[in-house]
Amino acid sequence: MSVEFDIAETLDVKGASCPMPVIETKAATDGLVEGEVLEVLATDPGSVSDIDGWAAGTDGVKLLEQVEGEDVYQHYVRRTE
């Protein structure tokens, strides 16, 4: 899939394990304005399902894409309100 996004901020949570990638992603999206995209870089394989579940249950954010690399997982989250 891999679409280009206009990234407002990149959050590096490599080395952090559950629940820190989600906690730090939530804090970072709170600082965005509507329409901005946050790129999250994580090494925890659980971040794929954790960030997906968090975004699905959270008003004001939308998970746009997740890219599973060899060592790094990229997540793209848009602030929607």
In this predicted structure, what is the pLDDT of residue 1? 45
58-69 pLDDT, tens digit per residue, is 999 999 999 999
User: Per-residue confidence of the chain (81 residues) as pLDDT tens digits?
Assistant: 456 889 999 999 999 999 999 999 999 999 999 999 999 999 999 999 999 999 999 999 999 999 999 899 999 999 998
Active-site positions read 18
- How far, in Å, CA of 44 to CA of 47, rounded? 5
Q: Which CATH number goes with the domain that contains 70?
A: 3.30.110.40
36, part of any domain: yes
Alpha helices in the chain (DSSP H): 20-30, 47-56
For the record, the structure tokens of 64 come out as 């746009």
Is residue 43 in some structural domain?
Answer: yes
State which H helix or E strand residue 81 sits in: none
